[in-house]
Structure 1
Amino acid sequence: MTVMSLPRRAALLAGVLLLALALPVALRAAPARAATPGAAVTASPGTAAPGSTTTITGTGWPARTLLTVLLCGQNGVDGTDDCANGSGRALTTTAGGGFTVQLPVVKPPQPCPCVIHATTVTGGNITVNTAFPVIGVASVPVKQSPGTLLPLTATVSGGGSLMTWFGAPPHRTFKAVIANVGNSAITDPVFRTGIWHSVFAPDWQEFQWSGVIAPGGRQEIDIPLDFAAGAHGGYSVELQYNGTELTTQQVTLPHPWGVALFWLLLCVVVPVGLFRIGLAVVDRLRPDLALNQDQRPGPRPPHTAPGQGYDTLVLPPMPVHPPRPPRTAPLAPTLPWFAPGYGPALPRTDEDDPPSRTAQARTPGSSTLGSSTLLDKGIDA
């Protein structure tokens, strides 16, 4: 029993999941089946004189939507200014998107051709005009008003390049979506773009767009923008048509840091180059200075050949002394200067020092004079 209940529970769970997944799809599909092909308006009778009424029937409108129904002259080209607003009707469509209303027929503020003008107040913008001639009201040709452009969106796009980083003129693209709200087409419109920075006057440029903008249509236009070389910071861009401002956008341009880097390198490279040029000039002039020194009287020191480096002074070789002769006999010992009786030796002759005399040794404490006197006395005795 337990084994049989597990498949049943699994099947029940799968059925619940399938139902949960199919329910949103069914809910989304229900409005699609109820949708009607398109909005339409009919009048019965199709023409009437002022003071009478006509039955206006509408089909294919969004469900539960607020509408206004008006009788307008000149085909309602100028909007509600051409309509009899006092006799207009406001109503709400049914769940099926239909309505029926009794509309009084009055003389509109503008001559015919006249129309029944039905438009939505809530929801999407849907407008339907149905021709309705008014008996007794003159019909004149519809006045043609020039096309009027209305900006919907506007942006400034584009980026810089390597050249703009070094001060080249930046380029941007002005993208705008405009709509023709007039009753005549606009062919090949000419736009003006003004570019200015801070409090300076705008720099105006003209751009002609090739094409036709139909009444009620909208079109995206791309206008190239050219800035001055080295431009950076905040700029304002204004778009005009027939002397009327359409929109104004702000754009920020990056700083050309490559220019600052160039000047920094220039301030370093130029002094270094001048220094190297000065060294080369000095190297070229130094051999001439050495030649001028060689022309002076007196001994001239040798120097190296020109172009092989700086001149160096070469000292002459030291003189060679002749060898001393060898000694034949050892030198007699000399007494120190502080020994008693020490004095400079005087040259003697044969008369002063006869060969028969012999030198007497001196004893400490005796003088040379005393010793010679005693010696003389001893000899005489």
Structure 2
Amino acid sequence: MTSRQVPAAPPGRAVSLTLAAVVLLTAAVLSVAGAGPAAATGPSVTVDDPRAAPGLPVKTSGAGWQPGVTVQVEVCGGEALHGSADCDTLRAAVALVAADGTFRLTLIAGAPPAACPCVLRAVAGQIGVRAQTPLTLAGAADAAPTAPVPAVRVDVVAAALSGGPRFAELFGAPAHRTLTVTLRNPGDRPLGRAPLIVAWGPGGSADLPVGTPLTAELPPHAEQTYRIPVRLPAAAFGRYSVGGRYASAEFAVSTDVYPWGLLGLAFLAALLTVFTAAVAVRRGVERRRAGRPARAPGSAPAALPVFVDAGRLAEVLAAGAGDGEHPGLVSTRALVRELAGDAALVDFRALRAFADALRASPLETER
């Protein structure tokens, strides 16, 4: 068997083939990457008009947010590099994210504490997500933004709900509590006017916002206490949570609300219904018993004689004729008692037998 030697390709042609292979491989990779799903986008915030002026409304909307969370939107200077310290928190607006992950609100633009470049920032404090978009603010000074300094740590010294149940609350009136929060700045740098965000909700969730007071600057190694009234809805029942956030500090407390007075009234109403029904049944039984002749247990009805003495009958009739309530009438019951010689009432059968005996016994025969 003879071997055949294949001539080698020229160097230039080999280089061309290698470049062509690289180009085809790159195109294939790009086509596969382009065919895949688009990269997921995070939460965003936009404005209808990027040009704004202090004191005028700014219409904004957001998309891609977690449904049910509360978003705070505010105008910030210095590109919000220092967080809330660069933002106009006094005129911030709050919105609740809808089921499709969107929200829409209108806030009044104000002058942020830091110089522009300005942005419109949206923050969801419960989940630590934020987004921002550029905003041109008329009349605001421009300056190069400075690098942010490390965040100042804040400690929650105490957080509690006070205010026991009032009398009206026991019968379904709205429950009123007071949230007392004590914050402390353990660092060596002062903390600016960070917003205090508080929300409440049934069970373990707290996503319904509560109006909070304006905060003040927190000096180094200083403490500040805030008292926020919390109003729970009418006929509240069960456990409710109240939570919030201040700068980097978060807190959560809970309270139990039960309208015992309302529950007691419902229980008393049920008992009264049962008692009324029992009384009605008992009275009905007593009426039926009152319509029957009374007799000793186990005794037979009083026996009536077939014949009676005419003279005694005349005496009874004469005595009964003097009845003042019924002139000229004789009490049938008294007549039966006298002639039968028994004070017990007789039944109707014996009474009919007595009447038949009288009709069958003429006075002439008795005499």
TM-score, normalised relative to structure 2: 0.28
Looking at CA atoms only, which structure, 1 or 2, has the larger radius of gyration? 1
